[in-house]
Structure 1
Amino acid sequence: MAQAARRGRPAGVDGEQTRRRIMAAATEHVAEVGYGNATMKSIAERAGLTSAAIYRYFPTKQELVGVIFDELVQVIMGRLDRATQVPGTLQERFVALLEESLACTRDHPMAARLGEAVHLESARIPEFQAAVDGRLRTEEKMYTRLVDDAIRRGELPADADRQAIADMLTSLIWGLTRLGATVPRARHAAAIRQVEGLLASGSLLPRSG
C-alpha cells in the first residue's frame, strides 16, 4: 500500500489541533536529537504535515521551541506552586512539591530533555536565556515564600539565611530535573526519595531553637 501523502493544513481539522500536533512532534524530536540537530522538515514529517504547513504556524524553529518551552514552564511551575499551597511544615510542603514534580515527569516525559536542550542553547540565543532566567526567578520566588513562611511559624531560626536556603532548594530541584533528563524514570524517582528521606531526618534544613 502506498504511503499516504503528508498534508498541508488538514481539511476539517481545527487549527489549534494542528498547532498542538506540531508542538508535540517538535517536543519529541528536539528531546531526542537536541536543538541544533532538529529540523523543521523532520518535525513536519513527524507531525504528518508538509514543511509549508508547519511554517504557517511557526515561522522559525527558534520560535516553535520557545513557545513549547514557555508553555511547559508555565504549566509545570503552576502545578508545583499549587502543590506548595497545602498546609503543613516546610518539609511537608517541599515533599509535596517533589511528589508533584514526579507526577509532572510522568505527564510530560519529554519536558526535562527539551528543557535541557533549551538550556544548552541559551548562551547563544538571548530569547532562550530570557526564558531560562524567567523560570529561575519564578522558582526563587516560590522557594523564598516557603522559607519565609517557615521562619514566621518558628520552624526555622529567625536569623536563618533565607537566601541560602532558597538557593539550596532551587539547586536541589534543578539538579533533580537535569537528572530526570538523563537517566531512566525509576532512577530519577529513587533520587527524589533519597532527598525526601534527608528532609524527614532533619538533615537538610536548620532547626529552630
Structure 2
Amino acid sequence: MFTARRMGAALGAGADDDPQAARIVDAALDEFREHGLDRVRMEHIARRASMHRATVYRTFPTKDTLVGVALTTWVQRVLGDIADAVADHPDVRTRAVEGFTIALRTLRADPLTNRILLADEAGKPFLVTYGGALVDAARTFFADQLRLADDADGIDPDAAAEIAARLSLTLLLIPDSYFRLDTDEDARAFARDHLLPAAIPDPATS
C-alpha cells in the first residue's frame, strides 16, 4: 500500500524531469481520468504509453509508486500553471484571489479530481488517507510563492497557505455550499470577502 508517509515523500519529486517517466505518468493520468484509480492496471498504462510492461515496471516497480508520482506530477503542474497565470497581477492579494479562482475552476473541470474524490484506499476515501500530504504540498508551494513576493510583509506565509489549501480542499470535497461558487466572479467574490480576511488580512484594516 502506498502509505501517507510515502506519498508525502513522493510529493517532492514529480516525473517531468525524466522523459520516459513523464511519458508513463501522462499515460497513467489519462487512464485514471477515464477509468479511476482502482480499476487501472499497469498493463493498461503500458499499452497507452506504447511501452512494454517490463519497461513500466523498471521505472515504477509498483502501481502504488506510480499512483503517487503521477498525482504528485499532476499537483505540481496545476500549481505551476496557477503561479504562471497570476504572475503579472500587481499585488499579492490580487494574485491570491485570482489563484483561488483559477484553482477552483481547473480542479472542478478536470475529471481526475472526481476520480480522486471517489477513490478508496484500504476501505477509506483516498483523500482521508492522503489528503494531508496533498495539503502539505499545496501549502509548501504557495508559502514559497508568498516568500518571493515583494509586497507580502506582515503575512505569515505558512499560515496563509495552510488556510487557503485546506479551505480549497474542503470546497472540492463538499461542493454544496451556502456560498455561490458557480462562476469565476462568484469565486473571486468569495475569495475577496472570506478567504483573504482569514488568510491574508489587509494591514490597513487590522
TM-score tier by shorter-chain length is: 0.5 to 0.7
Q: Find the partner of 2:38 among 29, 32, 36.
A: 36
- Equivalent in the alignment of 2:67: 65
Give the structure-1-normalised TM-score: 0.56
Counterpart AA for 1:193:
E
Distance in 2 (CA, whole Å) between partners of 1:137 and 1:198 is: 20
Residues 94 and 33 (structure 1 numbering): CA distance in 2 closer, same or farther, change over 3 Å?
same
- Equivalent in the alignment of 2:113: 112
SS of the residue 2:182 aligns to: helix
- Equivalent in the alignment of 1:52: 54
- Identical columns (%): 26
Distance in 1 (CA, whole Å) between partners of 2:190 and 2:135 is: 28
The answer to which structure, 1 or 2, has the higher relative contact order (CA under 8 A, 6+ apart) is: 2
Aligned residues of 1:112 and 1:178 also touching (Cα < 8 A): no
Residues 140 and 95 (structure 1 numbering): CA distance in 2 closer, same or farther, change over 3 Å?
closer
Distance in 1 (CA, whole Å) between partners of 2:113 and 2:174 is: 9
Shift of 1:74: 2.4
Unaligned stretches of 5+ in structure 2?
1-17, 176-180
Q: Find the partner of 2:186 among 194, 199, 202.
A: 194
- Equivalent in the alignment of 2:25: 23
Aligned residues of 1:35 and 1:121 also touching (Cα < 8 A): no
Shift of 1:194: 0.8
Q: How many residues align?
A: 175
Shift of 1:26: 1.1
Distance in 2 (CA, whole Å) between partners of 1:151 and 1:179 is: 33
Shift of 1:86: 4.3
Distance in 2 (CA, whole Å) between partners of 1:78 and 1:162 is: 18
Distance in 2 (CA, whole Å) between partners of 1:50 and 1:87 is: 46
Aligned residues of 1:70 and 1:131 also touching (Cα < 8 A): no
Shift of 1:139: 5.2
Q: Find the partner of 1:121 among 126, 136, 149.
A: 126
Distance in 2 (CA, whole Å) between partners of 1:179 and 1:103 is: 15
Shift of 1:72: 2.2
- Equivalent in the alignment of 1:95: 97
- Equivalent in the alignment of 2:6: none
Shift of 1:192: 3.9
Distance in 1 (CA, whole Å) between partners of 2:94 and 2:110 is: 25
Residues 136 and 83 (structure 1 numbering): CA distance in 2 closer, same or farther, change over 3 Å?
same
Shift of 1:84: 5.3
Shift of 1:27: 0.8
